């Protein structure tokens, strides 16, 4: 474990965090070499599907940093970053990956030292966790791919996109929703979308029956059946053949 060097990817917003990272350099503040920085204009631009994809591909940790709340160059982009990160956290949990592998922090352009401290801390934390299991364990990888797929689906994106407004200003009818209510709906949606995408991925490898899927995923076959029905309605899954008297399903190519 000692010689393990985690691969860490960091999304930095151009205006505060990236400048903070530069300041760490200008001030010659040293930190571990593991971080690989991707510059984005705003932390709110970080689509949860991106980090999930990197984790699936074996990144040991992903950090996202933006301007402090209130300092956002785009007024409230970092608020949306925060909402999206919420979804990311849920999906990482669903995929059974340690929450410590992702991080969202605010770093201003004047916080060179803070940036270095954050990177150092996160690197140590990930080093502690050890290598990303997705590399060796195909189940975890499958989960992460399912999570990524879920993050790319309409339902979760629409929910997260509306979250800020729903819980601060309310819906079109002006009904404000408490964070708790929203979280409940979100959690349910995440569970569903994650499972359905997982089923679809499994079926895309090889056709299976509901029973088989249940065995593969450890989920009650009745729940699997509901999902399969829904997936068929979406046109993502279709009947492949009937073995004995149990139908076998396959994933459809989705354009």
Partner 1 sequence: MSEEPRIGVFVCHCGINIGGYVDVPDVVEYATGLPDVAYAEPNLYMCSSDGLQKIQEAIKKYELNRVVVASCTPRTHEPLFQSACEEAGLNKYVFEMANIRDQCSWVHMHEPEKATQKAKSLVRMAVAKARLLVPEEEPEIDIRPTGLVIGGGVSGLTSALSLADQGFKVHLVEKEDRLGGTLLKLDTLFSSNVKASEVINPLIKRVKASTDVTVHLDSRVADVKGFIGSFDVGIETRGEPETLSVGTIIVATGADYLSPEGLYGYGQVDNVVTQMELEQLFKEGGRLDGVKTLVMIQCAGSRNEERPYCSRVCCTEAIKNAIKLVKENPKRDVYILYRDLQTYGIEFSMMEYDAKKSGVKLVMYDKERLPEVTGEERGPMVRVYSPLLDEELTIETDMVVLSAPIIPNEDNEALSKHLKVPLNSDRFFMEAHVKLRPLDFATDGIYVCGTAHSPKEVAESVSQARGAASRAGIPMAKGRLKTAAITSVVDEAKCSGCGTCIELCVYNAITKNERGLAQVTSAVCKGCGVCGASCPERAITMRHFTNEELEAQGLAALKEA
Partner 2 sequence: MMDKPVIVIGGGVAGIQASLDLADRGLKVHLVEKSPSIGGVMAQLDKTFPTMDCSICILAPKMIECFRHPNITIHTLSQVKEVTGKEGNFDVKVLKEPRSVDESKCTGCGLCSEKCPTKVSDDWQKGLSERKAIYILFPQAVPLIANIDREHCLYFQKGICQVCSKVCPAGAIDYEQQPEEISLNVSSIIVATGFQELNPSELGEYGYGRYKDVITSMEFERLVCASGPTGGHLNRPSDGKHADRIAFVQCVGSRTHKKGYPYCSSVCCMYATKEAVLIKEHDPGSEVTIFYIDLKVFGQGFQQFVDRAKQHWGVEYVRGKPGEIRRNPLTKDLAIWYEDTMTGNVYEKEMDLVVLCTTMIARPGNRELAGVLGLKLDEWGFFKSKDPVRSPIETDVPGVFVCGCCHGPRDIPESVAEASATAACAAEVSRRCAS
C-beta closer to partner 2: residue 16 or 224: 16
Compute the distance between CA of residue 64 and CA of residue 60 in angstroms, rounded to an integer.
Answer: 14
Which span sits near partner 2 by CB under 8 A: 4-12, 20-28, 129-137, 202-210? Answer: 20-28
Binding mask 127-166 for partner 2 (x = CB under 8 A): ----------------------------------------
Cβ–Cβ contacts within 10 Å for residue 172, how many? 7
Q: Which of partner 2, partner 1, none binds 36 (CB below 5-8 Å, type-dependent)?
A: partner 1
User: Do 176 and 216 touch, CB atoms closer than 8 A?
Assistant: no
C-beta closer to partner 1: residue 162 or 250: 162
Binding partner 2 (rule: CB under 8 A), the pick from 1, 2, 3, 26 is: 26
C-beta closer to partner 2: residue 113 or 214: 113
Binding partner 2 (rule: CB under 8 A), the pick from 57, 58, 68, 252 is: 68
| Integer CA distances (angstroms), 235 to 109, 145, 252, in order | 48, 20, 7
Which span sits near partner 2 by CB under 8 A: 11-19, 41-49, 89-97, 223-231? Answer: 11-19
Q: How many residues bind partner 2 (CB under 8 A)?
A: 17
Q: Is 121 among the residues that bind partner 2 (CB under 8 A)?
A: no
Q: Which of partner 2, partner 1, none binds 76 (CB below 5-8 Å, type-dependent)?
A: partner 1
Three-point CA angle 69, 92, 150, nearest 5°:
95
Q: Is 16 among the residues that bind partner 2 (CB under 8 A)?
A: yes
For residue 33, the surrounding DSSP H or E stretch is none
Q: Which of partner 2, partner 1, none binds 108 (CB below 5-8 Å, type-dependent)?
A: partner 2
Compute the distance between CA of residue 143 and CA of residue 149 in angstroms, rounded to an integer.
Answer: 10
Q: Is 112 among the residues that bind partner 2 (CB under 8 A)?
A: yes
Compute the distance between CA of residue 61 and CA of residue 158 in angstroms, rounded to an integer.
Answer: 26
Buried (b) or exposed (e) across 179-206, using 16+ Cβ within 10 A? Answer: eeebeeebeebbebbbbbbbbbbbbeee
Alpha helices in the chain (DSSP H): 17-26, 49-56, 77-94, 112-129, 138-151, 154-168, 179-205, 210-217, 221-234
Residues in contact with partner 2 by CB under 8 A are 15-16, 19, 23, 26-27, 67-68, 70-71, 108-114
């Amino acid at each position: 474990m000692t010689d393990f060097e985690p691969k860490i990817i960091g999304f930095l917003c151009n205006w505060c965090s990236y400048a903070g990272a530069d300041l760490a350099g200008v001030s010659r503040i040293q930190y571990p070499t593991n971080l690989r920085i991707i510059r984005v204009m705003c932390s709110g631009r970080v689509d949860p599907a991106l980090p999930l994809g990197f984790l699936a591909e074996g990144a040991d940790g992903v950090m996202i940093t933006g301007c402090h709340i209130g300092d956002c160059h785009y007024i409230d982009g970092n608020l949306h970053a925060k909402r999206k990160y919420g979804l990311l956290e849920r999906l990482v949990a669903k995929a059974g990956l340690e929450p410590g592998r992702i991080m969202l922090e605010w770093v201003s352009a004047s916080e060179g030292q803070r940036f270095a401290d954050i990177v150092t801390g996160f690197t140590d934390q990930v080093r502690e966790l050890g290598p990303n299991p997705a590399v060796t364990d195909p189940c975890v990888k499958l989960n992460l791919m399912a999570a990524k797929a879920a993050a790319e689906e309409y339902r979760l994106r629409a929910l997260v996109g509306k979250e800020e407004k729903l819980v601060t200003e309310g819906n079109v009818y002006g009904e404000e929703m408490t964070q708790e209510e929203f979280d409940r709906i979100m959690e349910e949606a995440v569970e569903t979308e994650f499972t359905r995408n997982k089923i679809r991925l499994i079926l895309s490898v090889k056709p299976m029956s509901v029973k088989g899927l249940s065995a593969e995923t450890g989920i009650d076959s009745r729940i699997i059946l509901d999902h399969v029905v829904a997936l068929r309605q979406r046109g993502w899954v279709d009947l492949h053949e009937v073995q004995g008297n149990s139908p076998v399903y396959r994933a459809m190519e989705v354009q």
